[in-house]
Amino acid sequence: MKVLLISTYDLGHQPFSLASPAATLSNAGISVTCNDLAVDTLNESAAINADMIGLYLQMHTATRLSVALLPKLKQLNSHAHISFYGLYAPLNADYLRTIGGDSFIGGEFEDGLLKVCNTLLNNNSASKFNLISTKKQNFIQPLRNGLPNLDKYAHLIMSDNSKKVVGYTETSRGCKHKCRHCPIVPVYHGRFRVIPQDLVLADIRQQIEKGAQHISFGDPDFFNGPGHATDILVKFRNEFPKITFDATIKIEHILKHKDLLPMLKEAGCLFITTAVESVEESILDHLNKGHTRSDFVLATRIAQEIGITLSPTFVPFTPWTTTDGFIDLLNTIAELNLIENVAPIQLAIRLLIPNESYLLKLPQIKPYLKEYDQEALSYRWQNKNHSVEKLCSVVQNIVETGAQKKHSRIKIFKTIYRAALESKGSRQTSIPHIKEQSGFKIPSMSEPWFCCAEPTKEQLARL
């Protein structure tokens, strides 16, 4: 049996989501080809000869790109079983089925993909196969040989403009928290699963052997299991003393486990990505984030004192966003000396409400909510203030243009700030706090886009 696994977008990383199932399927005697369209062209020969084509739907961006790709795959091979897997697969199964999907696997997807393959091998129909599983499964060391070299992917830009080749792995999946807007929650419902330490370290080891100088830990939250994470880091530091890393950690966990941060710094942590989302208390409450504005400020100060860069992510445009609130967010970023820390796309994200989102349980969303748009993969909503909707569109255009022209973060920030002032009708010309910025460049990834953003024209054209 021949299987083609495709990833269209995975935040600039070499996809663990291809390498891990490739190992599981190969171990079962199945011939697997991996094809990462973020950095490579479609392997048409593999598509034509595949018995099953698996499309990885990491989140919104990857799903939109995969949907755009599907007609071409169908044209090349109308008989292949199409399996969508990843967080967005079961949440959008009804729509994906109408455009040609056959099976839809969420959660711990390796065993699910193998189950589909075995069903097909036994000449049984796997159509309408919809599986969400968070059961513990036996992981196998990811098989990365069939993927492009690590230097083809996003790299780490250091403060002196030198570059590091980046590897990627995961120590856990799912999340024990229930942020209402997060697409992980309708799949895992507050559960998470750890990946065995020896496999995590083996995966890191094989990537370092292939040239990785820095490792991104891609867990939804590295401190969901702090003991598991720190045990791995102790071994990581002992074996790879010159390799740096980054991780994603909630504000709540940064404060709760602040005593562990010096250990992270000592182990080589360059930066922590953290989902702040908003600086307005009411919006944070609506999203059930588990932190406050002052918590964000405190976490920033703690990280700065220890010497770990904080890289915040945001959802600036929500049904409750006001122009003043958006300007307040920009001022807060500047006051905290975080302009260089924030990827510009983070200032352009519009709230997505996917199918089965926990936001649908929130009474405060009802006045803004419209119909579910299958093609948009989200419930439609509209801010009561039309000028905020217009500002969102303007900011998105500024960010996409800035990415294309490779403008600096501070230049894009200033352009966004002026657009916000213009939206408000303000005569203000100076931008507060900009003059206080240190101007020191911080370590950052070269990948300009984000998993919850609409695909760019360039990304779509690559398909």
Q: How is residue 173 annotated by DSSP?
A: E
The answer to whether 149 and 198 are in contact (CB under 8 A) is no
User: Does the pLDDT value for residue 310 go beyond 70?
Assistant: yes
Span 261-308, pLDDT tens digits: 999 999 999 999 999 999 999 999 999 999 999 999 999 999 999 999
Q: Kindly list the domain boundaries of the chain, sorted by start residue.
A: 2-133, 155-446
**Which CATH superfamily does the domain covering 155-446 fall into?**
tm_1862 like domain (3.80.30.20)
Domains 2-133 and 155-446 share a fold: no
User: Does the pLDDT value for residue 394 go beyond 60?
Assistant: yes
Q: What percent of the chain has pLDDT over 70?
A: 97
Q: How far apart are CA 171 and CA 313, in angstroms?
A: 21
**Higher per-residue pLDDT: 326 or 126:** 326
User: Does the pLDDT value for residue 438 go beyond 60?
Assistant: no
- 260, HSE (Cβ side, Cα atoms, 13 Å): 18
Q: Which residues of 190-216 are buried (b: 16+ CB within 10 A; e: fewer)?
A: ebbbbbebebbbebbbbbbebebbbbb
Span 320-368, pLDDT tens digits: 999 999 999 999 999 999 999 999 999 999 999 999 999 999 999 999 9
β-pair partners for 55: 6, 84
Number of Cβ within 10 Å of residue 375's Cβ equals: 9
**Higher per-residue pLDDT: 125 or 346:** 346
**Mean pLDDT, rounded, for 150-167:** 95
Q: How far is CA 184 from CA 58, 361, 381, 443, in A?
A: 10, 16, 21, 27
What is the predicted pLDDT for the residue at 439? 53
Q: How far apart are CA 123 and CA 429, in angstroms?
A: 69
The answer to whether 274 and 343 are in contact (CB under 8 A) is no
Q: How far apart are CA 424 and CA 160, in angstroms?
A: 38
What is the predicted pLDDT for the residue at 434? 72
User: Does the pLDDT value for residue 437 go beyond 60?
Assistant: no
**Does domain 2-133 fall into CATH 3.40.50.150?**
no
Q: How far apart are CA 362 and CA 320, in angstroms?
A: 13
